[in-house]
A and B are shown apart, each in its own frame.
Chain A
Amino acid sequence: MQPQFKAIADHALLLTFADEISEAAHAAVIALDHAIATNPPEGMIETVPALVNLLVSFDPILTDHIAVETHIRACLTALNIQKVSGVQRVVQVCYEPPFSPDLEAVSTATGLSREAVINAHLAGDFHVLMYGFAPGYAYLSGVTPEIQVPRKLAPVRDVPAGSVIIAGPQCLVTTLMMPTGWSIIGRSPTPILTNDPDHPFLFDVGDRVTFKRIDASTFARLTGEDAHA
Chain B
Amino acid sequence: MPNAALSVAFAGPLVTVQDAGRPGNMRFGVSASGPMDRLAFDAANAALGNATGQSAIEVSLGGVILQCREGDVTIAITGGDFVVAHGAAETRSWTVLTLRKGERLAVRAGKSGIWAYIAFAGTIEATEWLGSRATHSTSGFGGGALQTGQSLTVSDATTREDRLGDIERPDFIPNGPIRVVTGPQDQYFAPETVAQFLSSAFKITDAYDRMGMRLNGPRLELDGALSIPSEPIVRGSVQVSGDGVPTVLLADHQTTGGYPKIATIISSDIGRLAQSRAGDTIQFTAISSQQAITEARECVKRTTDYLAHIAVPRGTLEQRLMRENLIHGCIYD
Contacts and interface: CB of A to CB of B under 8 A. Distances in A.
Contacts of A24: none
Contact of A132 (B23, B131, B230, B268): B230
B296 A10 contact: yes
Contacts of B300: 61
Contacts of B26: 46, 48, 55, 57
Interface string B229-270: 111101011000000000000000011110000001111100
Contacts of A7: 181, 183-184, 289, 292
Contacts of A14: 184, 231-232
Nearest to A195: B129
B219 to A, nearest CB: 24
Contacts of A136: 28-30
Given A48-B255, A55-B234, A61-B296, A135 B139 contact: yes
A61 B268 CA distance: 13
Interface in B1-40: 23-30
A133 B293 contact: no
Nearest to B140: A176
A130 B256 contact: yes
Interface residues of B, number: 43
A134 interface: yes
A8 B141 contact: no
Mostly, the B contact residues are mixed
Q: Using C-beta atoms within 8 Å of the partner chain, give the interface range for chain A.
A: 35 or more
B161 interface: no
A6 B27 contact: no
B295 interface: yes
Most chain-A CB neighbours within 10 Å: which of B131, B180, B255?
B255
A84 B148 CA distance: 51
Contacts of A105: none
B295 A6 contact: no
B290 interface: yes
Interface string A52-82: 1101010011001100000000000000000
A191 B276 CA distance: 39
A11 B267 contact: yes
A182 to B, nearest CB: 14
A133 B256 contact: yes
A130 B267 contact: no
27 contacts: A7-B181, A7-B289, A8-B234, A10-B181, A11-B296, A12-B234, A14-B184, A48-B26, A48-B27, A50-B230, A51-B231, A52-B229, A53-B229, A60-B267, A60-B296, A61-B297, A61-B300, A131-B28, A132-B256, A133-B29, A133-B255, A134-B29, A134-B139, A135-B29, A135-B30, A136-B30, A197-B131
Given A46-B26, A53-B229, A135-B139, 6 more contacts: A11-B267, A53-B232, A64-B290, A134-B254, A136-B28, A176-B139
Interface of A: 6-12, 14, 16, 19-21, 45-53, 55, 57, 60-61, 64-65, 130-139, 176, 197, 200-201, 204-205
